[in-house]
Amino acid sequence: MKKITFILLLALLSIQAYSQRKGDLTVGTKGGFVYSPMNLKYNGVLYGIDVAYSLSDPLEVVFTGMMNPSVPRDSIPDKNNPHPGKEFLSVYSTSLDFRLYLINQREWGIGPALGGQYYIVNNKSNKLDANKAFGFNLGIHGRVNLTDNLVLNGGWRYTNAKTKASKIFSDLKFDMSYNLFYLGVAYTFELK
């Protein structure tokens, strides 16, 4: 958890250092539905913060931190427990993305997003080691300017990641890829 906190602070300070030169800084909240059909098979809601800095008119760099300390999933059956019930996962993620608005109008914009993400999925039910992964993000992002300073944004992002399951099963690799559908609201500070 200390590493995640350090990464979050470092990324936030880096973005703010950029923002002193030129461009707009957008700070907001984000919520989304995560769908993971792979080995971990969890579905649930994530929420967090979104900080974006406009590098040029169509390009921005974005730092996102999202979490949910209690995402339910159906337990995976094994020979010791053939009919398991529900268990809960805690999910924490940080990502750094670049968004390029291919269509960039005054009122709205849409385009691809590309970046990287580090995240942790911890099974709180069985107390095994947390699954940690680094993945690459690819998606589409859109924004609507409600006022000069208020922005509504949303999109879809796919994260491709594989990791070792835990120290106990170090020879197994888990596919921790997932889809995230998100929506957020943000406030833009004009720093020019």
Helical H segments across the chain, by residue range? 2-19
Q: What is the pLDDT of residues 67-78, one digit of tens each?
A: 888 877 765 555
In the chain, the number of structural domains is 1
Tokens of 145: 């300017």
106 secondary structure, DSSP code: S
What are the distances in angstroms from CA 150 to CA 27, 29, 53, 54, 189? 10, 12, 15, 15, 10
pLDDT at 152 over 90: yes
DSSP string, 118-153: EEEEEETTT-PPPEEEEEEEEEEEEEEESSSSEEEE
Residue partners of 165: CB distance under 8 A and separation at least 6:
131, 172, 173, 174
The CATH number linked to 150 is 2.40.160.20
Kind of pairing between the strands at 162-164 and 131-145: unpaired
Q: What is the pLDDT of residues 54-108, one digit of tens each?
A: 998 889 999 999 988 887 776 555 555 555 667 777 888 899 999 999 998 888 9
- Reported as a pLDDT band with limits 50, 70 and 90, residue 5 is low
* Domain of residue 169, residue span: 2-190
Average pLDDT score, the chain: 78
51 secondary structure, DSSP code: E
Ramachandran quadrant class, 164 (left: phi over 0; alpha: psi -120 to 50; beta: rest): beta
